[in-house]
């Protein structure tokens, strides 16, 4: 299995879960100390859904349709749990990782796209 | 009757969960371990060679093993020859040649012997000691649906009943969970009951699709055991009526096997014996030449292997099987791919077959199966996850572990919720006590029993006859002993001690492994045998998690002691003042 692909689904699944989580008033306040502006909330929500789909696209490209869905669900489970744990024990890290993961996930998407998902 | 729909559902969730929780915990723990059946078995047979570092192309590897099969006197009369190629794929750590003898009368399969090969020299590996017999991962796999010590038929019904109630508990749990979206990521720590509820909710929501899938599909495996009257009421009660149903079903679904007849998922028993009988009869009348002699007529098989590797890509072949000509069928060469590309449970999917004499490809029968069959075999396939590569396999393991945690937190939650109320009214009733103790005995006790299973594998002499059974006995003996202990101690002390003991048992396993075998972490990590190393690493991880739980209990115990001490002191001071 391709390491770049694995990296891509991990980062993009994290972006999806973290953005969706932080778009909720409760968690946004927990991390940033203020209520989210409507614009930010929208932005986080859209990013969350977008990267959720991006993750699915990675999974289907890497594992075909049927197995791809299974990998997608499993990866999201892992990342939902990881994000929830970070939110409880390392709140600041959630946003730091989110800013780091967005460009990394996007970059790996571009790399995978240009290489046509071939592992060699 | 409860006031609202949600309250009724909560009630149902609480009580179904409690009643079947302990059995389900066992099923989930052993079931989760079953996602690593082959890896566990390999860990339990430390005599087997490590991952081959050098992996030549498929044809070269095949040649090495094929020459052995052709020249060894023991393999000449075999019913089939199999060459497992070394690759990165699961359970393909070493090149091996194996041959299966004809079955004894009354047996379904003959004994198989395996010779491991060195991929660099092409010579058989001289094992320092014979590979030990072990109950391995398969025993755990079997236990998760057939339990142990009781007849399989009864066990399957018990597990099935629990599974049905589990499905009820999952669905009612979703209804009972008021803020399933709002609390999707919420865990509030150190808030007593609130934290337990958060943990249970979070764990339950996180792998919800997996739980639904695993519970529902689990019921499909023994479909006909759970609905024994469904077929007889329509087709009649005689065995031949049942067979009529099976053959009708197979024609309509376009499948060679009937789903829902149990773990093996083979064809109906009747059909199988019939086939066996037929081959036996014909086998006597026209005795086919032994495989060793037939092989003289074979075409250049390694060319076929090379050609297939060209087609599939390097490292994509799992195994090559050769069967002799018999019953009017030509001798065959079958090449099986290393990775599955379907979630369906379909043995032999993607396998290429060739006539071993003429090298002609034998076309697979067209896979025109009915939608119901696709659905059924997909559910069973999803349950077993045999198609999972290493990443997906880890995800399956994580989901399974979350399932264990869901059941464990649910069971504990039941007691935490009722504890203050009981303490206030002063009646600490027997039922509550029993649940508390059963929780310790099951959750911590089974963890310890599982560790003991692996300890037994290393400590029981490798050449002891019937050692497999003793490995399994060790699991239950250790579990039983710890259960007895936890029943005789106050609940929190029992939790602390049992969890500590289980943690220590898991943490020391890699050490025991290092002391008793050559397959310890120092070796496996050095030789990059990740599959074998990961078993030891998971033991350490489980030990750490159990240890963390033990520390938590200890803290809680310290707090309670402290509280009682302060309360007692103030009480003494107060009474002194009164005096």
For residue range B244-276, what is the model confidence (pLDDT) as tens digits? Answer: 998 888 888 887 778 888 754 444 443 333 333
Within a domain: B460: yes
B372 C-beta neighbours (distance < 10 Å), count = 13
Tell me what pLDDT residue B265 has.
41
Min CA distance, B174 vs chain A (Å)? 17
Min CA distance, B449 vs chain A (Å)? 28
CB contact under 8 Å between A24 and B343, yes or no, is no
Instruction: Determine which of A68, A84, A87, A119 to mutate to test the interface with B (most B C-beta atoms within 10 Å).
Output: A84
Query: Comparing B72-81, B147-156, B409-418, B445-454, which segment has the lowest mean pLDDT?
Result: B72-81
Average pLDDT over residues B18-32: 97
Confidence of residue B105 (pLDDT cuts 50, 70, 90): confident
- Residue of chain B whose Cα is closest to the Cα of A67: B343
Q: How many CB pairs under 8 A join A and B?
A: 75
Tell me what pLDDT residue B2 has.
66
State whether residue B367 is helix, strand or coil: coil
Tell me the β-bridge partners of B117: B95, B124
- Residue of chain B whose Cα is closest to the Cα of A18: B185
Confidence of residue B577 (pLDDT cuts 50, 70, 90): very low
For residues B446 and B454, what is the distance between their CA atoms, to the nearest angstrom?
Answer: 13
Examine the pLDDT at B290 and tell me if it is beyond 50.
Answer: yes
CB contact under 8 Å between B395 and A87, yes or no, is no
For residues B320 and B337, what is the distance between their CA atoms, to the nearest angstrom?
Answer: 9
Tokens of residue B567, six digits: 């309360």
Say how many residues make up chain A.
120
| CA nearest to B61, candidates B414, B309, B278 | B309
B441, B483 contact by CB (below 8 A): yes
Tokens of residue B15, six digits: 């009580």
Q: Which residues of B touch A89 (CB under 8 A)?
A: 189
A87-94, Cβ contacts within 8 angstroms, sequence gap of 24 or more: A87/A21, A87/A27, A87/A30, A87/A31, A87/B185, A87/B186, A87/B187, A88/B187, A88/B188, A88/B189, A89/B189, A91/A30, A91/A31, A92/A31, A94/A18, A94/A21, A94/A22, A94/A31
CB contact under 8 Å between B341 and A17, yes or no, is no
pLDDT for B170-206, tens place per residue? 999 999 998 898 999 999 998 889 999 999 999 999 9
Residue with tokens 């006597």, as numbered in its chain: B284
Tell me what pLDDT residue B103 has.
84
CB contact under 8 Å between B395 and A74, yes or no, is yes
Tell me what pLDDT residue B565 has.
67
Q: Which residues of A touch B378 (CB under 8 A)?
A: 66
Tell me what pLDDT residue B303 has.
92
| CA nearest to B88, candidates B517, B529, B398, B536 | B529
Within a domain: B528: yes
Backbone angles phi, psi at B369, to 5 degrees: -105, 150
| CA nearest to B137, candidates B252, B39, B274 | B39
Which residues of A lie inside 8 Å of B (Cβ-Cβ)? 1, 6, 17, 21, 24, 26-27, 63-64, 66-67, 70-71, 73-75, 77-78, 80-81, 83-85, 87-89
Confidence of residue B408 (pLDDT cuts 50, 70, 90): very high
Examine the pLDDT at B575 and tell me if it is beyond 70.
Answer: no
CB contact under 8 Å between B343 and A80, yes or no, is no
B160, B225 contact by CB (below 8 A): yes
The CA-based diameter of chain A, rounded to the nearest angstrom, is: 47
Examine the pLDDT at B570 and tell me if it is beyond 90.
Answer: no
Which of A6, A27, A89 lies closest to B391 in CB terms? A6
- Return mean pLDDT, chain B: 88
Q: Which residues of B touch A17 (CB under 8 A)?
A: 185
Tell me what pLDDT residue B250 has.
86
B332, B362 contact by CB (below 8 A): yes
Tell me what pLDDT residue B366 has.
61
CB contact under 8 Å between A87 and B343, yes or no, is no
B134, B45 contact by CB (below 8 A): yes
In angstroms, what CA-CA distances link B283 with A13, B106, B276?
A: 58, 16, 10
Tell me what pLDDT residue B430 has.
83
CB contact under 8 Å between B398 and A78, yes or no, is yes
Residue B342 touches chain A, beta carbons under 8 Å: yes
For residues B476 and B68, what is the distance between their CA atoms, to the nearest angstrom?
Answer: 42
Min CA distance, B317 vs chain A (Å)? 15
| CA nearest to B452, candidates B412, B508, B413 | B508
Confidence of residue B239 (pLDDT cuts 50, 70, 90): confident
Residue B79 touches chain A, beta carbons under 8 Å: no
Backbone angles phi, psi at B322, to 5 degrees: -120, 125
Average pLDDT over residues A36-48: 95
Tokens of residue B279, six digits: 């081959």
Instruction: Determine which of A81, A94, A95 to mutate to test the interface with B (most B C-beta atoms within 10 Å).
Output: A81
- Cα B192 to chain centroid, rounded: 34
Within a domain: B438: yes
Q: Residue B163 contacts by C-beta under 8 Å, 6 or more apart in sequence?
A: B24, B27, B215, B218, B219
Residue with tokens 């376009």, as numbered in its chain: B254
What residues make up the domain containing B494? Answer: 429-579
Helix-strand-coil percent breakdown of chain B, rounded to 5? Answer: 65, 5, 30
Tell me what pLDDT residue B365 has.
65
- Cα B7 to chain centroid, rounded: 36
Tokens of residue B560, six digits: 């309670």
Examine the pLDDT at B155 and tell me if it is beyond 50.
Answer: yes
Which of A27, A67, A77 lies closest to B210 in CB terms? A77
pLDDT for A72-95, tens place per residue? 999 999 999 999 999 999 999 999
CB contact under 8 Å between A78 and B395, yes or no, is yes
Tell me what pLDDT residue B273 has.
36
Residue with tokens 């007895």, as numbered in its chain: B484
CB contact under 8 Å between A77 and B399, yes or no, is yes
Ramachandran region, residue B265 (left: φ > 0; alpha: ψ -120 to 50; beta: rest): left
For residues B123 and B117, what is the distance between their CA atoms, to the nearest angstrom?
Answer: 6
| Angle in degrees, 0-180, between the axes of helices A91-115 and A25-32, rounded to the nearest 10 | 110
B108, B7 contact by CB (below 8 A): no
% of residues, chain B, pLDDT over 70: 91
B68, B135 contact by CB (below 8 A): no
CB contact under 8 Å between B207 and A77, yes or no, is yes
ipTM: 0.96
Q: Cα-atom radius of gyration of chain B, to the nearest Å?
A: 28
Tell me what pLDDT residue B1 has.
54
Residue B145 touches chain A, beta carbons under 8 Å: no
B96, B52 contact by CB (below 8 A): no
CB contact under 8 Å between A6 and B202, yes or no, is no
Min CA distance, A53 vs chain B (Å)? 17
Which of B206, B390, B391 lies closest to A77 in CB terms? B206
Please give the residue that has the higher pLDDT: either B339 or B566: B339
Within a domain: B492: yes
Q: Which residues of A touch B392 (CB under 8 A)?
A: 63, 67, 70-71, 74
Q: Which residues of B touch A78 (CB under 8 A)?
A: 395, 398
What's the number of domains chain B is made of? Answer: 1
Within a domain: B467: yes
Q: Which residues of B touch A82 (CB under 8 A)?
A: none
Tell me what pLDDT residue B572 has.
54
């Amino acid at each position: 299995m391709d390491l770049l692909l694995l990296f891509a689904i991990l980062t993009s699944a994290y972006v999806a879960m973290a953005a969706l989580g932080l778009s909720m008033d409760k968690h946004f306040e927990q991390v940033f100390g203020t209520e989210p502006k409507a614009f930010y909330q929208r932005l986080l929500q859209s990013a969350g859904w977008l990267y959720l789909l991006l993750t699915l696209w990675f999974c289907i490209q890497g594992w075909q349709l049927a197995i791809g869905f299974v990998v997608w669900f499993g990866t999201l489970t892992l990342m939902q749990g990881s994000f929830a744990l970070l939110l409880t024990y390392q709140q600041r890290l959630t946003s730091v990782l989110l800013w780091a993961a967005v460009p990394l996930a996007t970059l790996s998407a571009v790399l995978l796209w240009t290489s046509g998902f071939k592992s060699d | 009757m409860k006031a609202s729909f949600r309250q009724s559902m909560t009630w149902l969730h609480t009580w179904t969960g409690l009643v079947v929780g302990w059995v389900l915990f066992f099923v989930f723990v052993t079931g989760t371990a079953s996602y690593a059946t082959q890896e566990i078995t390999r860990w339990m047979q430390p005599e087997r060679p490590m991952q081959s570092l050098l992996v030549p192309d498929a044809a070269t590897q095949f040649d090495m093993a094929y020459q052995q099969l052709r020249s060894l006197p023991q393999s000449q009369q075999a019913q089939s020859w199999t060459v497992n190629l070394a690759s990165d794929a699961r359970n393909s750590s070493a090149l091996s040649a194996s041959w299966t003898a004809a079955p004894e009368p009354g047996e379904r399969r003959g004994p198989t012997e395996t010779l491991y090969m060195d991929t660099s020299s092409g010579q058989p590996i001289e094992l320092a000691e014979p590979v030990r017999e072990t109950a391995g991962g398969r025993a755990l796999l079997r236990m998760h649906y057939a339990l142990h010590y009781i007849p399989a038929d009864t066990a399957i019904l018990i597990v099935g009943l629990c599974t049905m109630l589990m499905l009820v508990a999952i669905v009612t749990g979703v209804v009972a969970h008021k803020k399933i979206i709002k609390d999707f990521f919420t865990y509030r720590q150190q808030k007593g009951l609130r934290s337990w509820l958060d943990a249970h909710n979070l764990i339950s929501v996180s792998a919800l699709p997996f739980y639904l899938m695993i519970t529902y599909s689990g019921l499909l495996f023994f479909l006909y055991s759970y609905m024994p009257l469904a077929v007889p009421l329509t087709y009649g009660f005689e065995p031949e009526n049942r067979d009529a149903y099976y053959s009708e079903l197979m024609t309509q679904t376009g499948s060679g096997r009937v789903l829902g007849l149990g773990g093996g998922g083979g064809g109906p028993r009747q059909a199988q014996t019939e086939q066996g009988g037929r081959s036996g009869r014909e086998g006597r009348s026209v005795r086919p030449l032994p495989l060793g002699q037939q092989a003289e007529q074979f075409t250049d098989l390694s060319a076929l292997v090379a050609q297939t590797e060209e087609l599939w890509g390097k490292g994509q072949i799992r195994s090559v099987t050769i069967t002799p000509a018999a019953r009017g069928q030509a001798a065959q060469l079958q090449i099986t791919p290393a990775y599955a590309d379907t979630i369906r449970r379909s043995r032999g999917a993607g396998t290429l077959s060739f006539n071993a004499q003429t090298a002609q490809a034998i076309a697979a029968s067209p896979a025109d199966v009915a939608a119901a069959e696709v659905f059924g075999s997909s559910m069973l396939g999803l349950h077993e996850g045999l198609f999972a590569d290493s990443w997906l396999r880890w995800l399956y393991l994580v989901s399974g572990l979350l399932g264990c945690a869901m059941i464990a937190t649910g069971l504990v939650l039941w007691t935490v919720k009722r504890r203050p109320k009981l303490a206030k009214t002063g009646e600490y009733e027997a039922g509550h006590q029993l649940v508390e103790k059963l929780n310790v005995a099951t959750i911590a006790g089974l963890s310890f029993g599982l560790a003991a299973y692996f300890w037994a594998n290393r400590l029981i002499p490798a050449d002891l006859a019937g050692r497999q059974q003793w490995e399994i006995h060790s699991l239950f003996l250790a579990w039983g002993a710890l259960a007895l202990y936890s029943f005789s101690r106050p609940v929190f002390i029992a939790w602390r001690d049992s969890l500590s003991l289980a943690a220590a048992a898991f943490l020391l396993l890699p050490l025991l492994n290092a002391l008793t075998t050559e397959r310890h972490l120092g070796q496996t990590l050095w030789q990059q045998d990740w599959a074998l190393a990961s078993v030891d690493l998971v033991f350490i991880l489980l030990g750490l998690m159990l240890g963390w739980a033990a520390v938590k209990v200890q803290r809680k115990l310290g707090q309670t002691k402290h509280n009682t001490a302060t309360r007692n002191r103030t009480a003494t001071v107060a009474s002194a003042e009164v005096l």
